[in-house]
Amino acid sequence: MDAEHSADRPLPHPMAETRRNVFETVFECPKPVVAALNGVTVGGGCELALACDVRIAADHVRIGLPEAKRGLGATFGSQMLPRIVPRGIAYELLYLGELISAQEAYRWGLVNRVVPGDRLADEAREFCRRIVANAPLTVRRYKAVVRAGAELPLPAALRLAVGPDPYQSEDRTEGVRAFLEKRDPVWRAR
């Protein structure tokens, strides 16, 4: 092991700086972010996947945060995991540091879909195509209101005014017109 990667050298504390790290940047992206997981997704790779809105996993994926086995912290993962899966499951995954299968991850809601490995890229692209086919202002608003309202009481969350307003948009008019005319809408994101 070289001096730069010495086990004896202390690591800087993650998230201690004021600038955003890559996980936060992905999490805060105003557009949908879809992760296609293929292979072993651990540590920082798992945290990056947790930052995404949707996770599609190949059936052979193993995923987890093994930091407890290495004396590390998984700062981002320890905050995101209990926001995605039940708290008891989050504790189990964090405390044990063991990897789980794609099927287990699906069962707990950690991944949205499990697909055969040879179909992963096609499935992820098709999923993204289906998102892109929808009204962009509405999709962006969904992301904004879900994030902003997740920890609020329902009455406060229902009254949030975040993200684009699709109700007064040209896209709303186009969407209704296209439906009535039985054609695909042409979105303009305005």
Tell me how many degrees the CA angle 40-41-45 measures, rounded to the nearest 5.
Answer: 140
Return the structure tokens found at 32. Answer: 């949908």
Q: What does the alpha-carbon distance between residue 91 and residue 166 come to, in Å, rounded to a whole number?
A: 39
| Catalytic residue (choose from 17, 24, 28, 67) | 67
Q: Is 47 a catalytic residue?
A: yes
Tell me how many degrees the CA angle 51-56-58 measures, rounded to the nearest 5.
Answer: 125
Return the structure tokens found at 167. Answer: 């109700």
| Catalytic residue (choose from 17, 47, 92, 98) | 47
Q: Is 104 a catalytic residue?
A: no
Q: What does the alpha-carbon distance between residue 44 and residue 57 come to, in Å, rounded to a whole number?
A: 16
* Closest to 65 measured CA to CA, from 113, 3, 14, 7: 14
**C-alpha dihedral sign at 88, 37, 142, 28:** positive
Catalytic residue list: 47, 67
